[in-house]
Amino acid sequence: MSTRAQRYAGIVGGHMNPNIHVRDITEVQMLKEARDLLLDSEWIQGMNAGIKRWKVLRCSPMDKRANAFSLRGACIRVLKPSQRELSVEFHNDTGPSMLINKALGFKDGYELNEWNDNTERTKDDVINHINHCIYIREGS
């Protein structure tokens, strides 16, 4: 497994979990693609992803019809986890979910979701936060 893939493999108790499979991607790539996805989509609160028509219908971030994403949902979509990771690893805030939290500077998914769902938060705030995280990781 490459160094990049190890960053996004499941880490349980400090050990790699070989059963977790997500895209081979760096933190900066993930952040840039999540930002681009949010720029091209609706940003939402209260759920990871939705299908926005006359109202927003909750769906999986991996649903092809999804056109609205939270910050966490956009990162999940970019990583392209399997259904198992969506139902277990992300729900339990382990594996790839821990790494999304770390890349975005949050201690856990609860803190990330609370930040995203703050009633005063705007889409511009989310984009600026991602840009700040990219800036820190690129060191420029």
Residue 39 — pLDDT band, cuts 50, 70, 90? very high
Q: Quick one: pLDDT at residue 109?
A: 86
Q: Does residue 70 or residue 54 have the better pLDDT?
A: 70
Interval 21-46 mean pLDDT:
88
Lowest-confidence pick of 11-20, 21-30, 72-81, 92-101: 11-20
Whether 2 shows a pLDDT value over 50: the answer reads no
Residues 6+ apart with CB under 8 A from 100: 30, 72, 75, 76, 79, 109, 112
Q: How far apart are the first and last CA of the chain?
A: 29
Residue 103 — pLDDT band, cuts 50, 70, 90? very high
pTM (predicted TM-score): 0.78
Q: Quick one: pLDDT at residue 7?
A: 43
> By the 8 A CB rule, do 37 and 69 touch?
yes
> By the 8 A CB rule, do 126 and 71 touch?
yes
- What is the C-alpha separation between 33 and 126, in angstroms, rounded? 14
Interval 33-59 mean pLDDT:
94
Q: What percent of the chain has pLDDT over 90?
A: 52
